[in-house]
Amino acid sequence: MKGKIIRLLKENKNNFISGQNISDKLRVSRTAVWKYINQLKEEGYEIESVSRKGYRLLNSADLLTYEEIEDKLKTNTIGRKIYHFDSLDSTNIKAKKLAIKGENEGTIIIGEEQTKGKGRLGRYWTSPKGKGVWLSIILRPNIEPTKASYITQIGAAAVSKAISDMGIKNYIKWPNDIVINNKKVCGILTEMSGEINKVNYIVIGMGINVNLNKKEVPKELKNKATSLKIESGNSVSRKKLVANILNNFEYLYDELIEYNTITKSIEICKSSSALINKDIKIIRRNKTKKAKAINLDKDGHLIVEYPDGTKEGLISGEISVRGENGYV
Ligand code: ADP
């Protein structure tokens, strides 16, 4: 109901709309309208109320609800249904629960904050309220389960391009992070449920540090985490960023669905790679190996060359990659 009220207020932007009018249109009592308006004000909407005139929207809240994003969305399915939470444990956990219940492809889960944000291999992801984009997308692609890592490449390309298009240069640290000045601004976590040759669903989670100030980055992450605001010097519109990501994501994902390839995503991942041509360390179950990153192949494997001249195509899975001296 709050969403419907916001829509009406937006349709009447600059004008007053009476409580009676809202109540007639939405078939709820005037007292209910008044209560919803108060809730919206508490959420951060600036709504002017004048007796005998009604309500007028002065400023929207900085919230990642469907009503706040839809006017910038160009997609058919991705993001056309958004579950928005003020706070939740983890958007991936919620997405998986909804996927199990049969939620359709393209549905998005967004939390203003996550209390148990997840990284890979059970690591944590700090997700303070209103400061980032913490979202997950439910997908049901008809692909072989071994190709689930394609989704991570599509996601990384979609986020990287969205950030570049907002004027902020960034790099993709294969397979699942976006970095600026060698520090992480975004992590991606792809989880799949499937059988041997069939995907039931895939959930791709994205955690983007958008408007965190320096002091909001946890101490232990100071050397490896940053935000778009810290790096660009300006606050960034989370709403525009989400819409741009979803628009890019659908465009790139469509290639996978139609042609079973991800050339466009790989192109972006290559041209924005933080690793190609660099000396790196590959960490696999606590063992570290030195190598040079050479290229990305059409399936999104990182081709590396070892000091003895042998080459290998790395599959994301359980590998972490580090720069020779530090995080990248
Ligand atoms: P890695 O980058 O080590 O391969 P992940 O991609 O799984 O690992 O990310 C999880 C790690 O990212 C955590 O262990 C933590 O060090 C770091 N981290 C947690 N929250 C954030 C954040 N908001 N921004 C950047 N890095 C974070």
Tens of pLDDT along the chain (328 residues)? 889 999 999 998 888 999 999 999 999 999 999 999 999 999 999 999 998 899 999 999 999 999 999 999 999 999 999 999 999 999 999 999 999 999 999 999 999 999 999 998 888 999 999 999 999 999 999 999 999 999 999 999 999 999 999 999 999 999 999 999 999 999 999 999 999 899 999 999 999 999 999 999 999 999 999 999 999 999 999 999 999 999 999 999 999 999 999 999 999 999 999 999 999 999 988 889 999 999 999 999 999 999 999 999 998 766 788 877 676 7
For residue 318, the model assigns a pLDDT of: 63
Residue 261 carries which side chain, given as an amino acid letter?
T
> Which residue's alpha carbon is nearest to atom 25 within ligand 1?
225
Other residues' Cβ atoms within 10 Å of the Cβ of residue 130: 15
Q: What pLDDT was estimated at residue 324?
A: 72
| Residue 227 CB–ligand 1 contact under 6 Å | no
Q: What is the rounded distance in angstroms from the CA atom of residue 27 to the CA atom of residue 80?
A: 25
Residue-level pLDDT at 252: 98
**302 and 321 in contact (C-beta within 8 Å)?**
yes
Sign of the alpha-carbon torsion through 71, 74, 80, 86: negative
Whole-number Å distance, alpha carbon 4 to ligand 1 midpoint, is 37
Cα 21 from Cα 26, distance rounded (Å): 9
Region label for 258, one of left (φ > 0), alpha (ψ between -120 and 50) or beta (otherwise)? alpha
- Which atom of ligand 1 lies at the shortest distance from residue 188's CA? 6
Q: Is the Cβ–Cβ distance between 275 and 241 less than 8 Å?
A: no
CB neighbour burial string for 187-223, b if at least 16 within 10 angstroms, e if fewer: bbbbbbeeeeeebebbbbbbbbbbbbeeeebeeeeee
Supply the pLDDT for residue 174: 94
**Structure tokens that stand for 188 in this block:** 């991606």
The rounded Å distance from CA 217 to ligand 1 centre is 12
Order of all β-strands in the sheet with 311-314: 311-314, 302-305, 287-296, 279-284, 319-323
Does the Cβ of 177 fall within 6 Å of ligand 1?
Answer: yes
Q: Give, for ligand 1, the residue of 152, 159, 210, 221 to mutate: max count of ligand atoms closer than 8 Å to Cβ.
A: 221
Q: Is the CB of 176 under 6 A from ligand 1?
A: yes
C-beta of residue 101 within 8 angstroms of C-beta of residue 118: no
Separation of alpha carbons 240 and 255, rounded Å: 23
The confidence score (pLDDT) of residue 317 equals 65
pLDDT score for 71: 93
Q: Are 95 and 136 in contact (CB under 8 A)?
A: yes
152, two tokens: 């991570």
Cα 77 off chain centre by: 16
